Copies of this chain bind each other. A is one copy, B any other.
């Protein structure tokens, strides 16, 4: 396997994602110049759903053309482009079109008319970009499954069966628009950690072209174990192996689609160390498609109401200057490309005993909480990892499946209780 790919989540320097309303190709080109100067090979790009499809029957051609122009500008700089469709959610802000809200309130996951509109939207984007050689494919939407979480203040109801059907329908729409490209679900960690979340680990690990991982230490890891604790800098590694454990296909690639160094909880002097140690662990996993840092550019302090941690996540500041984390990420990318030893298989697997129903069947994957920071499984896996054990994950339902273990190179299985 080649060295993993390195890229960034592209957050436009001017106007954040509202730059779509004042689209200026010269500003995009300037942003991409700096990104390319870091040695990146791809960017993840985020349209805003209601700006592109303000009416269910109006998918604005100009908006599609602007997405194509960003993709072309990226291509001219050696950057491939993956596009998330349904934003949906970005940095605490939610964007839903008027035709799904208030008097038109409908669940985006289960209302047939909305689903039809969404499928048309994703197919239109994929179709507009399909002719561009550097277009990698789509993700359905940045953590769009958040709207199905019971903790969301604007809950869009879905059962696991509905969520599964929705994801399959949306992936099919992407495939219809851009056949043969790599299309994905893009999940946040409730899929792995929360039993009442209708989007299940099995969906995340089995649908689409790769398993996408979003690793954020503000999920309780930093608070519980410390900002630069082994647990914090191994969170991405852990989620990658957790995703691998849920996969059916041992050769399925895993994309660390989001990881960032949020301040707070991190202090001003911690992001570089956090980045370097996190990457070292993440790169010690097999079949890692790539790492996409969140994010390219800081949010300007001229913009209001972002949570404090969202302003300083960029590798590049809001004046366009590369930050220390940007230089560190560029060094890591260069080093990995120069000498990327293929990671050795992980021969020891910690057994995850969570209900593994077929995706969409009933309320699948009860008991996911053991995987969250502080959970029994999380802690056991971390203990072994910190002790140098390089663990992976195997589902309890597969412990006796010798063929499965053999395909993955697993020679030893250990139960969390044995690691207490």
Task: List chain A positions with a Cβ less than 8 A from chain B.
Answer: 15-16, 18, 21-22, 50-51, 54-58, 60, 62-63, 92-95, 98-99, 101-105, 113, 117, 152-154, 302-305
Contact = CB atoms under 8 A, between A and B. Distances in A.
Nearest to A147: B102
A55 B98 contact: no
B98 A94 contact: yes
B93 A304 contact: no
Nearest to A55: B303
15 contacts: A21-B51, A21-B54, A21-B60, A55-B303, A57-B302, A57-B304, A57-B305, A58-B303, A92-B103, A93-B98, A93-B103, A94-B103, A102-B154, A104-B305, A113-B305
Given A56-B305, A93-B98, 20 more contacts: A15-B58, A18-B54, A21-B21, A21-B51, A22-B60, A55-B304, A57-B303, A57-B304, A58-B302, A58-B303, A92-B103, A93-B103, A93-B104, A94-B102, A101-B154, A102-B152, A102-B153, A103-B153, A104-B305, A113-B305
Contacts of A56: 304-305
A308 B54 CA distance: 19
A368 B195 CA distance: 50
Nearest to A99: B305
When A and B form their complex, which 10 residue pairs have the shortest distance between CB atoms, in order from nearest?
A57-B304, A93-B98, A18-B54, A94-B102, A56-B304, A102-B154, A55-B303, A99-B305, A102-B153, A92-B103
Nearest to A61: B22
A16 B55 contact: yes
Report how many copies the assembly holds: 2
A57 to B, nearest CB: 4
Contacts of A153: 102-103, 105
Contacts of A302: 57-58
Contacts of A113: 305
Contacts of A105: 153
A144 to B, nearest CB: 13
Contacts of A92: 103-104
B101 A94 contact: yes
A12 B93 CA distance: 29
A18 B55 contact: yes
A62 B94 contact: no
Nearest to A302: B57
Contacts of A103: 92-94, 153
A148 to B, nearest CB: 13
Nearest to A303: B55
A98 B56 CA distance: 19
A58 B62 CA distance: 22
Contacts of A102: 94, 152-154
Contacts of A63: 21
B104 A99 contact: no
A145 to B, nearest CB: 14
A58 B50 CA distance: 18
Contacts of A93: 98-99, 103-104
A51 B48 CA distance: 12
Contacts of A305: 55-57, 99, 104, 113
Contact of A95 (B21, B94, B98, B152): B98
A282 to B, nearest CB: 28
Contacts of A99: 93, 304-305
A113 B95 CA distance: 20
